[in-house]
């Protein structure tokens, strides 16, 4: 989008002339990737539904930025180009990643884009997202609020970047809270996925990069479809968008072509993965966030193995890796899923969030403080996750 295509409304020096709704504050949502965008869409309604507030979105620079436009277009978001975003001033800026955020003008709120802050920057190095390289620029503290999900992260922040302690906000985990709020929809999620009565749903979850399930054992998807009786089991794969968008949608589907022919369902990168996890009977996961959320919400989880050098030992990822049964490549698939442990939910949830069920209230209060606006109306809890009406393979859900 070049300068001539920049919209004159709802932001800009002449925007007042063209607006219909006279808002008092303007909020920018900086979306770096599909994953960070999904996390931000979980919380933006805390301010977006307020008629005093205009919310705009921009695609921020990120190596995995492909797919952001599609995500935002599907959400009906009003987008402005990054080149314009860095030239405007906003009353609030929301982000769940770090690329270029020092160039944005307005109080910045930084969110985690996974299950807390669990991964190290380098082997034996600091935990990503709570380190000075991400939070400081030329000695200047970037966020006006740094959202943490657990008090343990405040202790970690004190060791890694004490300059950010004053802006730290322990606000729980909105993703977890929404999954809990949606538990009553489990049967509807299963029907939407086409899970027939009497069948067990296996969800295979992979993050991206080295040591991920996809990187270490891509043929596993086909193996599961061969070993599990299709009359009794259905298999769904939810794979990190960085895999889809880093290699290409067509290529990734092609790599899993035989498994798809046998019945594997793929959750598209922009689709919400949480209904599949809530619907699952069994989850096989690596060290990504999906396994943590699955275990914390009571699913039976097998872990694919977590390298000790890539996760923080105090993280829920590390606890899950140490506690859940581990996938054994030489054993038959069906017998292993009988080993999954549902009793880990309380322990994993306690490591995931210090404010179960309270994230939306805590976040709303802080966002309105930064907006310098009084909160109007009664507090609303998190909304249930919508039942999908279609999935990536193009078939309608029931």
Do 11 and 57 fall within a single domain? yes
User: Does one domain contain both 114 and 211?
Assistant: no
- The distance of Cα 138 from the centroid of its chain, to the nearest Å, equals 29
Query: CB neighbours (10 Å) of residue 141?
Result: 16
User: What does the pLDDT look like over 191-216, one tens digit per residue?
Assistant: 999 999 999 999 999 999 988 999 99
In a domain, 318, yes or no: yes
Is there a domain that residue 386 lies in?
no
Same domain, 68 and 208: no
Residue 189 lies in a domain: yes
pTM, to two decimals: 0.93
Q: How confident is the model at residue 10 (pLDDT cuts 50, 70, 90)?
A: confident
Q: What is the pLDDT of residue 17?
A: 64
Quote the crossing angle between the two packed helices 174-181 and 289-296, to the nearest 10°: 40
pLDDT digit string, tens, across residues 356-370? 999 999 999 999 999
In a domain, 383, yes or no: no
**Residue 347 resides in a domain:** yes
Question: In this predicted structure, what is the pLDDT of residue 341?
Answer: 72
Give Cα separations from 88 to 13, 58, 103 (angstroms).
10, 12, 10
Q: Do 363 and 40 form a contact (C-beta atoms < 8 A)?
A: no
For 21, the domain range is 3-174+355-371
H or E element that contains 247: helix 241-247
Q: Degrees (nearest 5) of the Cα angle 321, 339, 388?
A: 80
Same domain, 345 and 362: no
Same domain, 163 and 194: no
144 plus 218 within the same structural domain: no
78-90 CB burial, b ≥16 within 10 A, e <16: ebbbbebbbebeb
Q: Is residue 323 part of a domain?
A: yes
pLDDT in tens, 367-383: 999 999 999 888 888 99
The verdict on 166 and 186 lying in the same domain is no
Phi-psi region of 239 (alpha: psi -120 to 50; beta: other; left: phi over 0): beta
DSSP 27-85: EEEEE-SHHHHHHHHHHTHHHHT-TTEEEEEEE---TT-TTHHHHHHHHT--B--HHHH
Domain total of the chain? 2
Please check whether residue 32 is in contact with residue 111, taking contact to mean a CB–CB distance below 8 angstroms. no
Model pLDDT for residues 41-96, shown as the tens digit of each residue? 999 999 999 999 999 999 999 999 999 999 999 999 999 999 999 999 999 999 99
Residues 49 and 144 in one domain: yes
Which of 109, 106, 104, 95 has its CA nearest to residue 65?
A: 95
Q: Are residues 61 and 162 in the same domain?
A: yes
Q: Do 82 and 224 lie in a common domain?
A: no
Quick check: is 388 in a domain?
A: no
User: Which CATH number do you get for residue 81?
Assistant: 3.40.50.2000
State whether 9 and 133 are in the same domain.
yes
Q: 226 and 112, same structural domain?
A: no
pLDDT digits (tens, 9 = 90+) for 137-158: 999 999 999 999 999 999 999 9
| pLDDT the model gives residue 391 | 45
């Amino acid at each position: 989008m070049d300068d001539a295509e920049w919209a004159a409304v709802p932001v800009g020096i002449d925007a007042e002339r063209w607006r219909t709704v006279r808002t008092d504050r303007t909020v920018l949502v900086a979306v770096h990737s599909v994953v960070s965008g999904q996390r931000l869409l979980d919380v933006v309604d805390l301010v977006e539904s307020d008629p005093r507030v205009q919310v705009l979105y921009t695609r921020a620079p990120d190596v995995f930025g492909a797919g952001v436009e599609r995500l935002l277009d599907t959400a009906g978001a009003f987008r402005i180009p990054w080149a314009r975003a860095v030239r405007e001033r906003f009353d609030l800026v929301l982000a769940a990643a770090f690329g270029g955020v020092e160039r944005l003008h307005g109080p910045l709120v930084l969110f985690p884009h996974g299950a807390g802050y669990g991964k190290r920057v380098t082997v034996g190095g600091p935990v990503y997202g709570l380190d000075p390289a991400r939070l400081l620029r030329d000695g200047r503290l970037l966020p006006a609020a740094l959202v943490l999900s657990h008090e343990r992260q405040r202790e970690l922040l004190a060791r890694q970047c004490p300059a950010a302690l004053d802006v730290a906000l322990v606000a729980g985990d909105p993703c977890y809270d929404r999954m809990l709020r949606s538990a009553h929809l489990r049967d509807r999620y299963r029907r939407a996925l086409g899970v027939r009565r009497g069948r067990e749903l296996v969800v295979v979850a992979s993050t991206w990069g080295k040591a991920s399930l996809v990187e270490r054992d891509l043929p596993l998807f086909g193996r599961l479809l061969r070993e599990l009786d299709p009359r009794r089991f259905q298999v769904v794969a939810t794979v990190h968008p960085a895999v889809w968008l880093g290699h290409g949608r067509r290529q990734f589907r092609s790599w899993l072509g035989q498994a798809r022919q046998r019945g594997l369902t793929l959750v598209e990168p922009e689709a919400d993965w949480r209904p599949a996890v809530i619907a699952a009977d069994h989850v096989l996961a690596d060290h990504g966030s999906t396994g943590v959320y699955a275990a914390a919400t009571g699913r039976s989880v097998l872990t694919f193995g977590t390298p000790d050098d890539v996760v923080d030992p105090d993280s829920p990822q590390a606890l899950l890796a140490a506690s859940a049964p581990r996938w054994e490549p030489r054993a038959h698939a069906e017998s292993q899923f009988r080993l999954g442990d549902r009793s880990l939910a309380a322990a994993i949830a306690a490591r995931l969030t210090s404010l179960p069920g309270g994230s939306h209230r805590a976040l709303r209060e802080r966002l309105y403080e930064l907006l310098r606006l009084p909160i109007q109306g009664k507090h609303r809890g998190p909304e249930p996750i919508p039942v999908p009406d279609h999935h990536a393979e193009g078939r309608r859900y029931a």
